[in-house]
Structure 1
């Protein structure tokens, strides 16, 4: 099977930043360009140098910092067909010209609706064709390679002959890349012969006949207004002559955005050899860099949807009990590709549809014990605690609920009393496996705290109270009392418990129970090596 490389043209810094709210600082532009270069992106379109001094500086800085290595990407910059803009763009790219890594990208409208905005000039096809030749020749003579885009190509309508003329003029002047964009994002395969890919094939055949000695790269640049950018871009490759795909990471860009580069790259990796033409399409991009770049764009440009394909937060996150059980045994059971390929890990979110295996995995991952026979009960307990959290809970919340489940002492009511001969405490609730009322007593020299301590010692024999203290949290007779109790075991491990109550005695009792619960869980439910 013949292999064919599809070049990836990244316009995140140019078309992506034309999207409202997606602009980045100078420093972030430079950082992004380096990330893309390290990922082996073939062409990075950095900006529009004639738009502002800052845009010029960004393009020029990237041109200087990403330069002469054989593996360095081509750096592209966009400009209109105007001599002053061409000169400005060439100056911005100048550091790369000697290394043959500089590309000037220019365009001319061919869509009748776009041409109407140009007034009389938009009706003078002859002059426009002549301008394409003259201005592109100026650019080519300066030493940059030139990419030409007939803007609005997919809506050319009756202008096929005119588009043929301007493409011919661009190639005659020296352009080596012809980009055929679906600028307004309205192309669909159902258009039949009017589909832009069919027009691309016709133009590619015409130019191959007329310029047999020219090696022309055909490119596609699709917008996503109908959600068809990926399909249209891939059709231009598999059904048409395109060997370059233009887009943005996370699909950002004007209006509904451009084709997503991470989706395009993974599409080619997954289906690149499954076309009917016996060609295996591939890219040079480092797949394991995709998540990093996508995360950078999401953080610094526009937030990415959680369910975004390939790199979204939920793209490798699972909650369903059935899915979780299968994935734990085989990561690819509910994944179309291994997320680790792109630098991502499979994760799980515990929610109302999760099961015992999911809970068990999280609990054990955090170092606690969850036996097979109790996993379902524990999972149900956690779901009951968070019954209103239909969107799921964090691992931290799950572990806190697990620890609550494991507590041997859960008291609903306290009552303590003093008499001439003894002090006592009555409690109702769970106490080391039984749920009932208890009464613990101690002599007149003891306290309710001592009585409870003695009762707990029967189940945790090696613990002792280090010290405890109580303080008022505010002024006045109705202030809440906050108590802290420190207990130690025979190995001098310390556990700190806390409790609050309007009654200072009860706050102390609660802090003792809290400390005892922590010690008991540590001794009985921590995994041992």
Structure 2
């Protein structure tokens, strides 16, 4: 089976930033270009240097910093078919020209609806054809590679011959890349002979016949207005002449966006070598960087949906009990590819449909003990504790609830009474597996705090009080008191407990119980390496 490389043309910095709300700072543009270069992206379309001084500087700076040798990505810049813009764009790309890594991308509308915006010029076909030749010639004579796009190609309608003349003129002037965009995102294979891929095949045959000695790259630039950008891009490769796919990471771009590059790349990796294919299709992209680039776009341009294919937060996250059990045993059981390949890890979100294995896996990952015979009970306790959290809980919340489950002392009620010469407190709850009720009296013989300490020491003999103090959280007579108790074991290891209450003595008791619980759990349920 023959192999054909599909070049990846990344227009995240150009078409992506034309999307409302997706613009980035100068520094972020440079950083993104470096990420794309690291991933071995073939062509990076940086921007529109004629749009502003800043856009010019971004293109010029990327061309200067990213292009270091002939193996660096090609740096592309877009411009309208105007002489002054051609000249400006060539100048912005100068740092890349000496390495043969500069590409000027220009276009002219061929969709009658788009051409109407050009006024009388849009009706003068012969002049447009002359301009395509003359202006592209300026760029090629400056040793810049040229890509030409008949804008609105998929809606050319009856203007096939005019489009042919434009492509012919562009190639005669030295253009070597012909991009056939589905600019408005309305193409579909069900269109039959009107489908843009069919038109690409027709044009490719004409050009091959007329220019047999010229190697022309055919490219597809598809928008996603009907959700067909990936299908259309791949069809242009498998069933058409395209050897270049243009798109953006995370599928950002004008309106509903462009084809997602990470999806295109992984599609070709997964299905590009299927036995039914006449050709093996591949890219040279280093896919281990895909997640990092996608994350950068999500943070700095437009937020990515959690369920976004390939790189979305939920793409490798599971909460179903059945899924979790299977994935723990075999990571690929519910994954179409290994997320590690793109720099992503499989993760689990504990939720209402999670089971004991899921809880056990997280608990043990945090270094705690969860026996096989108790995992179901612990999982159910966690789900009951967070019964209103239908969207799931974080791992840290799960561990906090596990600790709640493990607490040997759980107080249900404090009954506190003050008398003339002493205070009385009744503590009722579960003490080390037994329901207990203790009544302590604070008199000249001792405090309630000391009495409770003496009761707990019976269960944890080597526990001893280190330091203890209380303070008001806020100013005023109605402020809540926060108490802190530090206890030590026989190895002088310290455990801290915190308690809060309007009554200073009850807050102190709560802090003592919290410290004792913490000490017991850490000593009893933490795995020893």
Provide TM-score, normalisation by structure 2: 0.97
Alignment match, 1:285:
285
Residue pair 2:324, 2:354 contacting (<8 A) in 1 also = yes
Mapped to 2, the partners of 1:273 and 1:83 lie a distance apart of 44
Mapped to 2, the partners of 1:420 and 1:108 lie a distance apart of 96
| Cα-Cα RMSD | 1.8
Alignment match, 2:173:
173
Residue pair 1:416, 1:448 contacting (<8 A) in 2 also = no
Residue pair 1:238, 1:275 contacting (<8 A) in 2 also = no
- 1:248-263 to structure 2, matched below 5 A, reads 248-263=248-263
Alignment match, 1:209:
209
Map Cα deviations across residues 326-366 of structure 1 (whole Å, 9 max, x no partner): 10110000000000000000011111111111111111111
Alignment match, 1:328:
328
- 1:236-275 to structure 2, matched below 5 A, reads 236-274=236-274
Map Cα deviations across residues 275-313 of structure 1 (whole Å, 9 max, x no partner): 644211000000001001111111111111111110111
Alignment match, 1:88:
88
Alignment match, 2:199:
199
* Gap change, CA 1:81 and 1:478, over 3 Å in 2: closer
Alignment match, 2:42:
42
Mapped to 2, the partners of 1:315 and 1:327 lie a distance apart of 14
* Gap change, CA 1:441 and 1:238, over 3 Å in 2: same
- 1:458-497 to structure 2, matched below 5 A, reads 458-474=458-474, 477-497=477-497
Deviates further, 108-117 or 267-276: 267-276
- Unpaired runs of 5+ residues, structure 1, are none
* Gap change, CA 1:478 and 1:248, over 3 Å in 2: closer
Alignment match, 1:307:
307
Alignment match, 1:142:
142
Residue pair 1:442, 1:450 contacting (<8 A) in 2 also = no
Deviates further, 283-292 or 67-76: 67-76
Alignment match, 2:435:
435
Mapped to 2, the partners of 1:201 and 1:421 lie a distance apart of 101
Alignment match, 2:363:
363
Residue pair 2:251, 2:258 contacting (<8 A) in 1 also = yes
Alignment match, 1:18:
18
1:474 Cα deviation (Å)?
4.5
Mapped to 2, the partners of 1:482 and 1:115 lie a distance apart of 73
Alignment match, 1:70:
70
Map Cα deviations across residues 399-439 of structure 1 (whole Å, 9 max, x no partner): 11111111111111124679999987532211110134344
Mapped to 2, the partners of 1:171 and 1:420 lie a distance apart of 104
Map Cα deviations across residues 215-234 of structure 1 (whole Å, 9 max, x no partner): 00000000000000000000
Deviates further, 503-512 or 20-29: 503-512
Deviates further, 344-353 or 270-279: 270-279
* Gap change, CA 1:426 and 1:314, over 3 Å in 2: same
Alignment match, 1:445:
445
* Gap change, CA 1:478 and 1:166, over 3 Å in 2: closer
Alignment match, 2:517:
517
1:449 Cα deviation (Å)?
1.7
Residue pair 1:103, 1:147 contacting (<8 A) in 2 also = yes
Mapped to 1, the partners of 2:50 and 2:426 lie a distance apart of 83
Mapped to 2, the partners of 1:476 and 1:288 lie a distance apart of 58
1:385 Cα deviation (Å)?
1.2
Aligned length: 529
Deviates further, 109-118 or 261-270: 109-118
Residue pair 1:183, 1:221 contacting (<8 A) in 2 also = yes
Mapped to 2, the partners of 1:474 and 1:51 lie a distance apart of 57
SS of structure 2 residue aligned to 1:307: coil
Mapped to 2, the partners of 1:480 and 1:442 lie a distance apart of 21
Provide TM-score, normalisation by structure 1: 0.97
Deviates further, 129-138 or 205-214: 129-138
Mapped to 2, the partners of 1:117 and 1:505 lie a distance apart of 80
Residue pair 2:250, 2:260 contacting (<8 A) in 1 also = yes
Residue pair 2:70, 2:100 contacting (<8 A) in 1 also = no
Residue pair 1:423, 1:444 contacting (<8 A) in 2 also = no
Map Cα deviations across residues 17-38 of structure 1 (whole Å, 9 max, x no partner): 1111111111111111111111
Mapped to 2, the partners of 1:52 and 1:84 lie a distance apart of 13
* Gap change, CA 1:167 and 1:276, over 3 Å in 2: farther
Residue pair 2:70, 2:101 contacting (<8 A) in 1 also = no
SS of structure 1 residue aligned to 2:465: strand
Alignment match, 1:118:
118
Alignment match, 1:52:
52
1:442 Cα deviation (Å)?
9.5
